[in-house]
Structure 1
Amino acid sequence: MKYSHILFDLDGTLIDSKETICRSFEYALNKMQVPNSKITDVNALIGPPMLTTLQEVFGFTLDEAQKGYQYYLEEYVDNGQMFHAKLYDGVQETVHKLSQLGCFLAVATTKNEINARKIVKKQDLDIETQHVYGTYNDGTRSDKKRIITDLLDDYNITNRSEVLMVGDRHFDIIGAHEVGIDSVGVLYGCGSAKELQDAGPTYLISSINELLTII
């Protein structure tokens, strides 16, 4: 087995959360009294840190973005939108098989860590809750490189040639490059084939099941 440690992104890789994120953004934009708050391309909003998206896509100041993020969480967390996301086809079986093979399985996401852990637990995946790393409640540790680095350091994973990052956006691939690990771009998520190819993943796959042929 070439890769004994598999790190997954969450949104767009393990779970299809497009509708839940779209509804939460629209809720927040309505609360912020943004005209024409209908989201037409949610894919572009999934992947970057939330505060970054609210500033760069919608033009909010940092203070406004923080307020908008609280509104987002009101719908996404308090109203339970986050639990409506579905696993992509083959995820449950593939993760279970990797667990049976003895792989160290973890999640590295820019989603809030507490919420990410709740989602993974709810989905009943064979990934231990403490192996789910994400952004802190105050919005810090939102960089994919740092999230991956902290995870590897905390578990004393020093042989990076055995580690594989699996994600659907260029952020995942670039983060993997920056920490010196191989990567897999999944073509079924939120990122385009061109976006992933330009980022330079080690592998590209069309379905999560193909991961079993790589490791």
Structure 2
Amino acid sequence: MKYNHILFDLDGTLTDPREGITKAVRHALGQHGIIVNDLSELECFIGPPLQETFTEKYRFSEAEAWEAVLSYREYFKDTGLYENEVYVGIRDVLDLLLSQGRQLYVATSKPAVFAETILEHFQLSAYFTMVCGSELDGTRSAKTEIIQHVLDTCRIQTSEAVMIGDRMHDLIGARNCGIHSMAAGYGYGSEEELTACQPTYFFKTVEEMLRSFASFAV
């Protein structure tokens, strides 16, 4: 067994949060007089820290980006959290990994309080030894910091750990922390984005991931 400790991203890896996140972003942008009718234009917000994407995509100042994050949360905390669904086959993956004696963790840029609520709502909490996310004040939002916090807190040897995620931030964060990575090609990062980061493994589907773990290939 190669990896005893497996870290999962949340959005775009365990669950598909498209509806909730894009609607919350649309709500936030509306508070700044920006109208977006096509929610697909906002899928770039799925994965990276929100402040970062508001700044990059809409040229918000630091203060404006933080105001947008607060507006986003107005919608997300009551409604957007639940406009979400677990990817088909993910429960099978998690059941298999636990049966193999592996330890599972969530490492997400989403505030930990929201991540924990989502996992509990979809009855996924019991699978994970630790859920690590950002703080509500915006600290510890970089994926490298989040992954490192899990490794340090749980005293995990880097040679025994792997990070699974669907965006470049997950793969770069894994590399920065000295652990291997698995690209979830079924999520929101393009194949070009993910392969450019040279992940240790690339899975196009959840089923492909399941088969690989089932065969003890990883």
TM-score where L is the length of structure 2: 0.92
Match of 1:179 among 177, 180, 183: 177
Q: Which residue of 2 aligns with 1:41?
A: 41
Structure 1 36/119 Cα, relative in aligned 2: closer, same or farther at 3 Å?
closer
Is the deviation greater in 107-116 or in 28-37?
28-37
- Contact 1:14 1:88 survives alignment (8 Å): yes
Structure 1 206/38 Cα, relative in aligned 2: closer, same or farther at 3 Å?
closer
TM-score where L is the length of structure 1: 0.93
Distance in 2, Cα, partners of 1:3 & 1:10: 19
Structure 1 residue 81 displacement after superposition: 1.5
Q: Which residue of 1 aligns with 2:114?
A: 115
Structure 1 residue 66 displacement after superposition: 1.3
Is the deviation greater in 104-113 or in 94-103?
94-103
Superposition RMSD in Å:
1.5
Identity of aligned residues (%): 37
Secondary structure of the structure 2 residue equivalent to 1:199: coil
Distance in 1, Cα, partners of 2:190 & 2:196: 10
Note the residue ranges of structure 1 that are not aligned, 5 or more in a row: none
Partner deviation per Cα, 1:1-27 (whole Å, 9 max, x = no partner)? 111100000101000011111111111
Is the deviation greater in 15-24 or in 43-52?
43-52
Structure 1 residue 124 displacement after superposition: 1.1
Aligned length: 212
Secondary structure of the structure 1 residue equivalent to 2:77: helix
Structure 1 residue 40 displacement after superposition: 3.5
Q: Which residue of 1 aligns with 2:76?
A: 76
Match of 2:190 among 192, 198, 201: 192
Moved over 2 A (4+): 35-43, 208-211
Match of 1:160 among 158, 161, 167: 158
Structure 1 residue 74 displacement after superposition: 0.7
Aligned pairs for 1:1-215 (under 5 A) are 1-36=1-36, 38-78=38-78, 80-125=79-124, 126-128=126-128, 131-157=130-156, 159-211=157-209, 212=213, 213=215, 214-215=217-218
Distance in 2, Cα, partners of 1:15 & 1:73: 19
Secondary structure of the structure 2 residue equivalent to 1:41: helix
Note the residue ranges of structure 2 that are not aligned, 5 or more in a row: none
